[in-house]
Structure 1
């Protein structure tokens, strides 16, 4: 399970995207970007953030550390912004936090070169989890101290919005024609050779175990959080071996 901390101060909203994440301090003296269960996208977005973020980390990709942040809604009583007040009021309990990367800049493909090896690993990972949100318009990549960091995986694993068709999604292609790293000739074949063997039942069990049980409760068609964790793991396990052959739109980059 993710480390648990408690929010002690709401600093400011981060007005990027539609979910209105906020910058908060916690009782471990850390500063976190906090994503809320009460946001419009709902708790499935947070589940995707944890499953994909923790999986990426175990595959050797850089992802800000994730924590479970306990929120007392009274923290928002002094906020002048009514939208923020309502968001905090509707998000009592366990929310998601990711380390705030001080000094990080948004990735600019014209200013920051990426090797074919690193580009290939990121494209392969995005294909595995079905990430549709790594385009040049919205890269969801940060550069800090000359290193590339992956953020914002809420728009992944689209199959968890339609569980009856989830396992069939393993065979779906991945369109990388709009991927921000496409110009760097991503070596997805080398990435597949290195990373696909790491996607084991044991690894996926470890990753899905990080998801707080409160976010999995009450899912229609599942009688327990553990059954739902298995459902998250199965499409990823089935997809890993051959997903590199289903990546489209890279042209000669492969």
Structure 2
């Protein structure tokens, strides 16, 4: 198996362009010192650093599996932004997010995926459903698909609601082997007729070592406010073990998805 070593760039935010108020956590369109535009996810918002951890881990797993994800970067936010922003709500958010945040490359000109307009072929639908079952992503429904069409290709975005076990660390071992019952609401489930084949393929790609490498990308400072686990390393170990356990027992969530699909079609 070839060595897998992802590297994330770090950029400095130079301009706050505008808030993207369609997101529940008030993400923003920003420009960085590499002159590119990014969608910035603030660690001072809503679910805090946990949403950034889910975004990072789920997104890089998706990329490893060959799915299209905008480039993810670490984004440093200077304290000066909070002083100059006139909107008090945004000012508070900026001040609470000073330091290291997460951003995704802005796909200029993209359009929101509409399942009534675009049909996704069975293998790709099955791959996305499998991914979301693995990372327990509850946010890929017809109401909110969190997918974009860009240059006639399907791109996945917004994984901050994934890995919801980390909002309560209790019984994470048992949670790692539970079926993902929310798959019944997945927007691509009706097209996901190749789950068994995708399962066999993805299990060979997602080794424990590769999972550990992705989890190792989580910065220490996003793990410093957790009282239930003693250290960032211990928390990263739990993330890695949780995901490795879900891969090892993937037949559980594949069966749940297959049965849910049969009920639909």
- Normalising by the smaller structure, the TM-score range is over 0.9
Distance in 2 of aligned mates of 1:199 and 1:187: 18
Matched, 1:95 2:101: yes
Contiguous gaps of at least 5 residues in structure 2:
1-6
Cα shift at 1:164:
2.2
Q: Cα RMSD (Å) of the superposition?
A: 1.6
**2:202 match:** 195
**2:261 match:** 250
**1:223 match:** 230
Distance 1:74 1:10, change over 3 A: same
Matches within 5 A, 1:60-209: 60-175=66-181, 176-209=183-216
**2:3 match:** none
Distance 1:10 1:16, change over 3 A: same
**2:4 match:** none
Cα shift at 1:240:
1.2
Counterpart pick for 1:56 among 44, 56, 62:
62
Distance in 1 of aligned mates of 2:226 and 2:263: 43
Cα shift at 1:202:
0.8
Distance in 2 of aligned mates of 1:77 and 1:218: 25
Task: Give the conservation status (yes or no) of the 8 Å contact 1:21–1:36.
Answer: yes
Runs of 4+ in 1 over 6 A off after TM superposition: none
Distance in 2 of aligned mates of 1:155 and 1:128: 13
Cα shift at 1:3:
1.5
Q: Could you state the TM-score of these two structures normalised by the residue count of structure 1? A: 0.95
Task: Give the conservation status (yes or no) of the 8 Å contact 1:118–1:186.
Answer: no
Distance in 1 of aligned mates of 2:193 and 2:27: 31
Cα shift at 1:75:
1.6
Cα shift at 1:252:
6.7
Task: Give the conservation status (yes or no) of the 8 Å contact 1:10–1:24.
Answer: yes
Q: For 1:35-83, what per-residue CA distance to the aligned partner results, in whole angstroms no more than 9, with x for missing partners? A: 1111121111111111111111101111111111111121243333221
Matched, 1:240 2:240: no
Matched, 1:44 2:50: yes
Q: For 1:211-251, what per-residue CA distance to the aligned partner results, in whole angstroms no more than 9, with x for missing partners? A: 11110124223332222111001111111132312324111
Distance in 1 of aligned mates of 2:187 and 2:237: 31
Q: Could you state the TM-score of these two structures normalised by the residue count of structure 2? A: 0.91
Distance in 1 of aligned mates of 2:243 and 2:172: 10
SS of 1:24's equivalent? Answer: strand
Moved more, 127-136 or 83-92: 83-92
Moved more, 161-170 or 4-13: 161-170
